[in-house]
Every structure is written in structure tokens, then in C-alpha cells.
Amino acid sequence: MFAPDTSILIADDDPIIAGFLTRILALMGRTAVVVSDGAQAIEVARTLQGTLDCAILDVMMPQVNGVDAAAAIRQIIPALPILFISGFVSTELLQRSRAMLGVTFLQKPFTLPELRSRLTQILEPKACGTFC
């Protein structure tokens, strides 16, 4: 499904969600780089630019929210696909996230098939077609 060297940045302040995502990605043969807030996500993107294939960002995080982190990450890696996840999103943040190109949104709680489908959409859009 994905290239074996796919690296995915995960930024979520909930260690249970971050752990779940990490385990799922490992089962899919992917490497996850996990941080707990948007500021750390920006720093990791700066450090690992050129090796990241996707970022999964929780929208609501302390210090720097996911939308602001995505905007900063896009300054570093303009074409990086981003998957926003959230259980609650303010209207303002949701509007700002929808205005960004190359992003998709997944509402918490989500299922394994939903996560796989979204990652396929992001990482292999030609393989996904219209059926994801």
C-alpha cells in the first residue's frame, strides 16, 4: 500500500491517541515520529524536512494548535500532506483548516478502516481513485 520508507509525523497531546496511531502505523510498516504539541511538530518538521511523507496533527493542542502548526510546517515543507484529527474543533479553526490545500480531516473517534482510507487518500491519491 505505502512505500516502506514512509515517515509520518504525529502531533497529539493525548498519549493514548498518539500511542494508538503509532501502533497502527507500525502494523502498516510505517515509521512514526511522535510529539505532543504543535511547537514540537514545527521543530521536527524543520529537522526532518525531506524525510517526512505526511503529518497527522491534532487540531486542539496546547501552546500551538494544529492549524497554526500546519501553516508553519507548510512554510518549511510546502507540499507536505496533512491529516487533521480532532474530537472538537472551533468554527474558526475548522474554517482555517479547510482553506489550506492538501489537507484532510478525520473526526475522533475514528476507526482503523477510516484511518487507512484517509492515509491512502493522502499518500497514494492515484491508487485510491474515487473509492476512498
- Taking only the tens place, the pLDDT of each residue in 55-109 is 999 998 989 999 999 999 999 999 999 999 988 766 776 777 666 777 888 888 8
Strand, helix or coil at 128?
Answer: helix
Distance CA 31, CA 4 (A): 9
Domain boundaries, position 26: 7-122
Kind of pairing, strands 54-58 and 82-86?
Answer: parallel
Distance CA 49, CA 92 (A): 28
Distance CA 122, CA 124 (A): 6
Residue 93 located in a structural domain: yes
Residue 94 located in a structural domain: yes
Distance CA 125, CA 92 (A): 28
Residue 129 located in a structural domain: no
Average pLDDT, the chain: 84
Residue 77 located in a structural domain: yes
> pLDDT at residue 131 above 60?
no
- The domain that holds 12 is classified in CATH as 3.40.50.2300
Residue 131 located in a structural domain: no
In the chain, how many domains are there?
1
More confident residue, 106 or 28: 106
